[in-house]
Structure 1
Amino acid sequence: MSETGIPLAGVIGHPIAHSRSPQLHGHWLSRYGLRGHYVPMNVAPDDLAEVLRALPRAGFAGVNVTIPHKRAALALADEVTESARRIGAANTLTFADGRIHADNTDGYGFLENLRQGAPGWDPAAGAATVLGAGGAARAVIVALMDAGVSEVQLTNRTRATAEALRAELGGPIRVRDWMQAGDALRDAALVVNTTSLGMTGGGPFLVPLDGLSADALVTDLVYTPLETPLLRGARDRGCRTVDGLGMLLHQGVPGFERWFGRRPEVDDATRAAVLA
């Protein structure tokens, strides 16, 4: 709490201008008539430790953390949730009693987006195929295994990276060659793209969808554009699809509640505010 009694929070990244978190939290503050401020902060990696130590003294209740600081923020925290430890990164920090509490809500946001966007989704329906093996994939895989998915088929352009992730996380993960990505879709009840392929300004999404079952649920963590080439192709094959914006919205819920004392709702008005 700041000296004025107004709660402060924000998001730290480098760069930070692209972040939509200020629109999200600003919408919730306005919607619920809460006093508070949520500010974007461009912090270089060499300055992160100093800034995190200073923010509580400046009256901040906590911050979101985005690229490239998620791993470093975890290492600087005094207390770490089990989720953040397993994922190996923090995206939500809360300052209390002079200590930094680190959490990772990406997996929570991913699952809540699926449940909202595809009511009745059953994690036990079959295998999940995950494209990509970076930080986002790590959070998705941990969440899927915790939810009860029987097998995760993991494919990445660099197989060694996928093998390293499988060894680190353990559990029912099967690595497939990137050249077999199309085959990995054939057996999938759920398909998740965690790569930047298909994103505006990114590389093209060229994974063949011929084997994709019409019964599969398909989601893409990319949300610029909202309908990616993967989602468009899957929808054309009759699949249910869920876009990636909801993951951003839902992952912000726990932090907002901790910092501002009100659990916010993710609905159409929230999506519209962030897309505006």
Structure 2
Amino acid sequence: MNKPYAEVIGDPIAQSKSPLLHGFWLEKLGIEAEYRACHVKPEGLADYFVDRRADSSWRGCNITMPHKQAAREHLYSVEEIASSIGAVNTVYPAFDRMLAGTNTDAAGFLEPLREDLAQEHYFRMARILGTGGAARAIIAALAGEGFTLVVAGRNPDKARALLDELAPDGEHHAVHLDHFAEPTDFKFDDREGCLDLVVNATALGMKGQPPLKFDLSHAPPRSIFYDIVYSPLETELLADAAKAGFRTLDGLNMLIGQAAVAFEHFFGQAAPREYDAELRELLLR
């Protein structure tokens, strides 16, 4: 029998860190399996799923751009979280090898916030910068945790449409990305008993990209800054926030968290998270 395997698919795919992540956990657990990268173009997506469903060694796949939405039409079932986000990033064979899809991005994003979310708050607000694929999962995740959302994008109409689709309940707001670039003289209270987030869900600040322009005067006291960029690990946004005394969360939190959920789907065991420090060092080489 061939060795069991899972893989990540996308177009392009060479940049994916998923093989490194899953390979690290497979080695730590001593599981005789592989995790691969597979280049799949949009016109080959249907054939890919037909072929893999027939392959008894295949345990599933992670999906990156541009297939996260197109994959849904090739699946027998889609979990509620993926339906609400409107995107699938993990596919696995369920009963009789019928293909099921889910989305692990929301769970991965929320993971480092679980201790905060377990507490009660008078008010929760998140300023989410970005309107792309990652922002979809973050908007859905935070709306489900009772946050009032302010979504900023280069196109405020797109931001409004995302809120209407993903968070139709609540008094949420859509603004232009430039709204947060200029200082504000708004006087926040001390926000004790509240939970405030500032989330960068854009590629701005990533190596090779312009920095994200965010004036810290827009952040209420005790805000948590969360940047999903992980190259560099400490973006200019996080460095400025940390210097000003804010708590910060880097992009490896979401990357590792979402992969861990998928790993259990594929290989039936929890990822060995006690090695996260070692894994972080490996990912940053």
Question: TM-score, normalized by length of structure 2?
Answer: 0.88
Partner of 1:270: 279
Which of 164, 169, 175 is 1:171 aligned to?
169
Shift of 1:171: 2.2
Q: Could you list the per-position Cα deviations for residues 172-215 of structure 1 after superposition, in whole angstroms to 9, with x for gaps in the alignment?
A: 22112333225599868110010111111112212222332341
Q: For 2:233 and 2:163, how far apart are their aligned partners in 1?
A: 29
* Percentage of pairs with the same residue: 39
Alignment of 1:197-236 (within 5 A): 197-236=204-243
Shift of 1:21: 0.5
* Closer/same/farther in 2, CA of residues 130 and 123 from structure 1, 3 Å limit: farther
**Amino acid in structure 1 at the alignment position of 2:93:** F
**Amino acid in structure 2 at the alignment position of 1:195:** T
Unaligned runs of 5+ in 1: none
Shift of 1:256: 1.1
Unaligned runs of 5+ in 2: 189-194
**Amino acid in structure 1 at the alignment position of 2:87:** A
Partner of 1:108: 107
Alignment partner of 2:61: what SS?
Answer: strand
Q: For 1:18 and 1:184, how far apart are their aligned partners in 2?
A: 42
Q: Is the counterpart of residue 74 in structure 1 residue 91 in structure 2?
A: no
Q: Could you list the per-position Cα deviations for residues 195-244 of structure 1 after superposition, in whole angstroms to 9, with x for gaps in the alignment?
A: 11111111221222233234110000111100011111111110000001
- Contact 1:74 1:84 (C-alpha < 8 Å) held by counterparts: no
Alignment partner of 1:252: what SS?
Answer: helix
* Closer/same/farther in 2, CA of residues 186 and 90 from structure 1, 3 Å limit: farther
Alignment of 1:1-276 (within 5 A): 3-4=1-2, 6-58=3-55, 59-96=57-94, 97-115=96-114, 119-120=115-116, 122=119, 124=121, 125-149=123-147, 151-169=148-166, 170-172=168-170, 173-182=172-181, 189-266=196-273, 267-276=276-285
Shift of 1:84: 0.3
Shift of 1:272: 2.2
Q: For 1:8 and 1:185, how far apart are their aligned partners in 2?
A: 54
* Closer/same/farther in 2, CA of residues 16 and 239 from structure 1, 3 Å limit: same
**Amino acid in structure 2 at the alignment position of 1:70:** K
Q: For 1:186 and 1:134, how far apart are their aligned partners in 2?
A: 31
Shift of 1:123: 7.5
- Contact 1:127 1:152 (C-alpha < 8 Å) held by counterparts: yes
Alignment partner of 1:70: what SS?
Answer: coil
Alignment partner of 2:234: what SS?
Answer: coil
Shift of 1:255: 1.8
- Contact 2:62 2:91 (C-alpha < 8 Å) held by counterparts: yes
* Closer/same/farther in 2, CA of residues 264 and 53 from structure 1, 3 Å limit: same
- Contact 1:214 1:237 (C-alpha < 8 Å) held by counterparts: no
Count of aligned positions: 269
Shift of 1:140: 0.5
Q: Which moved more, 1:156-165 or 1:187-196?
A: 187-196
Q: Could you list the per-position Cα deviations for residues 47-79 of structure 1 after superposition, in whole angstroms to 9, with x for gaps in the alignment?
A: 011011101223211000001110011222110
**Amino acid in structure 2 at the alignment position of 1:67:** M
Shift of 1:153: 0.9
**Amino acid in structure 1 at the alignment position of 2:204:** L
* Closer/same/farther in 2, CA of residues 185 and 86 from structure 1, 3 Å limit: farther
- Contact 1:217 1:239 (C-alpha < 8 Å) held by counterparts: yes
CA RMSD of aligned residues (A): 2.0
Q: For 1:215 and 1:42, how far apart are their aligned partners in 2?
A: 43
Q: For 2:116 and 2:158, how far apart are their aligned partners in 1?
A: 33
Q: For 1:213 and 1:171, how far apart are their aligned partners in 2?
A: 23
**Amino acid in structure 2 at the alignment position of 1:234:** A
* Closer/same/farther in 2, CA of residues 262 and 34 from structure 1, 3 Å limit: same
